[in-house]
Amino acid sequence: MFIFNFDMKTSELPRLFEIYRKRWGIETGFRVVKHGVRIRTTSTNYFLRAFDFMLTCSFYNLWVMTNIIISFTVFGGIKHKIFIEVEIFMDLLSRVDFELYIKPPGT
């Protein structure tokens, strides 16, 4: 149920619902970054903090992209559903042995 402090025509409600749905997505995104993928540091070094922020953004974007790819694979398009929870995604990502994929120069 929505309560407003202004008059709304019934014909305007679908647009308002769409705006609230998008806002909900933004709030969810902030919550995911804050609790799911954020790298925590106590460093006061600006460059380290900036790097941590950029890495956090990269993890978040990778998580979103993974869910979009799964959605396209399963449904043939984007569905507003999370297939892999961020905690599971970060756990799986932490288990990847990147040394298997990166070969040192000259090998």
Give, in degrees to the nearest 5, the angle at Cα 47 between 61 and 90. Answer: 30
Q: Average pLDDT for residues 65-86, to the nearest whole number?
A: 83
Residue-averaged pLDDT of the chain: 77
**Model's pTM, two decimal places?**
0.60
pLDDT at 92 over 80: yes
Amino acid identity at 20: Y
pLDDT tens digits, one per residue of 22-38: 776 666 666 666 666 77
The predicted pLDDT at position 2 comes to 55
